[in-house]
Amino acid sequence: MDSLMTFLSNSVLWKAVVAYWLFNAAVTALPQPNGGKVYQFVYRFLHTLAGNLDRAAQKLNVPGANG
């Protein structure tokens, strides 16, 4: 079990998967914009970025990708 934890903690892939999952969770948790143009831009930009990352992850068969 110790060698598995060492492998996972040193693996770049799993760090990227966790970062991808946290980013998507944070973007999904953003409240809907109701006014400010800057927040609308940031909201739409982050949702577009998250959607494109999700598409790329699905094509690469990344563990934890939706779909």
Q: Is residue 50 part of a domain?
A: yes
Q: Count of domains in the chain?
A: 1
Q: Is residue 65 part of a domain?
A: no
Q: Is residue 31 part of a domain?
A: yes
Given this model, what pLDDT does residue 62 score? Answer: 65
What type of residue is 65?
A
Q: Is residue 21 part of a domain?
A: yes
For 6-63, the pLDDT digits (tens) are 776 777 777 887 888 899 899 999 999 998 999 999 999 999 998 888 887 777 776 6
Structure letter (DSSP) for residue 35: S
Token output for 29:
């948790």
Q: Is residue 10 part of a domain?
A: yes
Main-chain phi, psi angles of 50, to 5 degrees: -65, -40
Q: Is residue 67 part of a domain?
A: no
Given this model, what pLDDT does residue 67 score? Answer: 53
Token output for 39:
């927040």
Q: Is residue 15 part of a domain?
A: yes
Helix (H/G/I), strand (E/B), else coil: 62: coil
Q: Is residue 64 part of a domain?
A: no
Domain that residue 25 falls in: 2-59
Given this model, what pLDDT does residue 15 score? Answer: 80
